[in-house]
Amino acid sequence: MTLRGQTDGLAARLRCSLVLDSLGSNQIALQPDLDASWSLTLRGRTDWLTAQLRYFSVLDSLGSALTESLETYVLGCWKGALLPACEDPSLIEESACLQMRLKECGCEEPELALLKAMLTGSHLLTPQHVWSLAQGLNPVQPERAQNLIQEAVDKLGNYIGSASNGHVILVLDKHLQKLPWENIPCLRSHSVTRLPSLRFLLSYSLTKKYQEEAILNRGVNSTKTFYVLNPHGNLPGTEKIEPGWAGVVGQTPDPDQVPVALEERDLYIYAGHGAGARFVDSILKVDCRSVALLFGCSSAALAVQGNLEGTGAVLKFLMAGW
């Protein structure tokens, strides 16, 4: 990497670091005191709610800046590598042609898969991105490589962007899982799933292939739904539910209700504080056949301890079934 490239990389890391630091410090400094709010007068509670709205507005702004920084300064010219694979004949043909022409201009033969990933995001590449790619592929004659790459990018244009409409599966480590990758601009129009490892993906693929009666094949029968809504009784806005479904609203479910529902129902919905895992003594002992939708403030949170990967309720539900 050239000195200019090292400088740009350092600047990018500093920008992302500043956004992350700002996000963390504002979370501490701006978040209103929830416990103190209950002792306030009506006027005081109104002011507290106003402060809450201001706090979330700041978080929204910082979150937006963070996602844009991740795409611009971390992924940069390789953002196309996160997009779903595209098997369009024009992309395959253009990638093979570019591979041959780059080799003729002095590049070491680049991997075809690498060029396909690069050109899958052709609709996202700016001239600066193309220049960065050219420097990496042909540091001796980057100008010539730049012209070849730009020609391929211009040919494919926005057509490939609309053709790449598959699903994205992210397998993230304990550090990357903390970041909102699903909301970076280039992924907002795609469906995205997180899985703890490739073994889960393989397991689901085998289930779909060999178990015809699995929910992955036949889909969810919504009439076989069980829900736990607002078990603490202080979130009335979560209590709206589809008529005809079974469940518990505004109170704690009986000890056996949730485990039985997970084993017998097609869909389990939780909406309330935390993650709802406390209503299942040991989720890993349950043969979970239900698809679980967890709408709690910490449903997807993973706690990292030491050198181990993160753990949390959502992973326990995945390991128990779905």
- In this structure, the dihedral spanned by the alpha carbons of residues 152, 153, 154 and 156, taken in order and rounded to 10 degrees, is 90
Burial of 182 (0-12, 13-18, 19+ CB in 10 A): middle
Task: Measure Cα distances from 315 to 39, 130, 170, 191, 300 in Å.
Answer: 37, 39, 14, 20, 8
Please, which residues have CB within 8 angstroms of residue 225's CB and are 6 or more apart in sequence?
Answer: 242, 245, 246, 247, 265, 266, 267, 268, 269
Separation CA 48–CA 42 (nearest Å):
10
Separation CA 314–CA 199 (nearest Å):
16
Q: Quick one: which H or E segment has residue 133?
A: helix 127-137
105 noted as active-site residue: no
Provide the 8-state DSSP code for 185: G
Range list of β-strands (E), the chain:
168-170, 192-194, 225-229, 246-249, 267-272, 291-296
Annotated catalytic residues are: 297
